[in-house]
């Protein structure tokens, strides 16, 4: 087996200059997301979501971005899950998009809030019926005795809604991450990577460069 310390990759595809960046980081993110989609990256909307408890204990997992708009980044989850509880108690989060094929990363930090019930309803009803059933069946992040228990919960849910409309569970919906800081990272040769940060202040977005 190769030693992890010996694994290296040279980044050579692009460079990143301030004069080529859009003044609005959301617009710049959309450009990079379009590039990621065009590059054929599997699930380019997959992002690492980091949350923390009120006493600072962090946790992270991969979730899917479902919308980006002028306000920020939207994803959906069970509000009673670990991430849902942590975001309710400590409404701050960090996101990381890692696109190896384009040698790019985007890091987002900001405050988090629930989106409206109407917005959550609209997205929930756009999901396949099996996914809507799972939102009811799975006690996400809770301890269960076995896989068989989970399968039983799924069957009970299917029986409950057999032939009926599947409403959105009250414990399931969307969160919006309102960014206060967005970093665009472009891999460069010899580890001299480009890092451009948008930092929000009272005057708007300030664009600064960081050392790699």
Are 176 and 115 in contact by the 8 Å Cβ rule? The answer is: yes
pLDDT at 11: 72
- pLDDT at 142 > cutoff 90: no
Q: What DSSP string describes 29-75?
A: HHHHHHHHHHTT-SSTTEEEEEEE-TT--EEEEEEE--EEETTEEEE
- pLDDT at 5 > cutoff 80: no
pTM reported for the whole predicted model: 0.91
Bridge partner residues of 183 (DSSP): 107, 197
pLDDT at 1: 56
pLDDT tens digit string along 91-111? Answer: 999 999 999 999 999 999 999
Q: Which CATH superfamily is domain 11-125+168-210 in?
A: Electron Transport, Fmn-binding Protein; Chain A (2.30.110.10)
According to DSSP, residue 101 is labeled G
- Alpha-carbon distances of 198 from 104, 171, 203, rounded to whole Å: 16, 34, 12
**Which band of pLDDT confidence, cut at 50, 70 and 90, is reported for residue 2?**
low
The full length of the chain comes to: 212
pLDDT tens digit string along 37-69? Answer: 999 999 999 999 999 999 999 999 999 999 999
Are 187 and 201 in contact by the 8 Å Cβ rule? The answer is: no
- Higher-scoring residue by pLDDT: 114, 141: 114
% of the chain surpassing 90 pLDDT: 81
pLDDT at 84: 97
- Higher-scoring residue by pLDDT: 5, 35: 35
Catalytic site positions: 191
% of the chain surpassing 70 pLDDT: 98
Give the range among 46-55, 57-66, 156-165, 175-184 with minimum mean pLDDT. Answer: 156-165
d(CA 112, CA 198): 18
């Amino acid at each position: 087996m190769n030693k992890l310390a010996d694994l290296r990759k040279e980044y050579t595809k692009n460079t990143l200059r301030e004069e080529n960046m859009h003044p609005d980081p959301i617009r710049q993110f959309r450009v990079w997301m379009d590039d990621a989609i065009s590059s054929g990256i599997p699930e380019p909307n997959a992002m690492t979501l980091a949350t923390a408890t009120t006493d600072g204990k962090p946790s992270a997992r991969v979730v899917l971005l479902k919308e980006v708009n002028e306000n920020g980044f939207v994803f959906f989850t069970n509000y009673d899950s670990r991430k849902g509880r942590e975001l309710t108690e400590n409404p701050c989060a960090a996101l990381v998009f890692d696109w190896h094929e384009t040698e790019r990363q985007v890091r987002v930090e900001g405050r988090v809030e629930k989106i409206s019930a109407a917005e959550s309803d609209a997205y929930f009803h756009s999901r396949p019926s099996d996914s809507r059933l799972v939102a009811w069946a799975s006690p996400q992040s809770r301890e269960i005795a076995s896989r068989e228990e989970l399968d039983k919960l799924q069957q009970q849910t299917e029986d409950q809604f057999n032939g009926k409309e599947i409403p959105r569970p009250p414990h399931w919906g969307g969160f919006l991450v309102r960014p206060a800081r967005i970093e665009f990272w472009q891999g460069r040769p010899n580890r001299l990577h480009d890092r451009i940060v948008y930092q929000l202040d009272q005057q708007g977005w300030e664009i600064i460069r960081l050392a790699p």
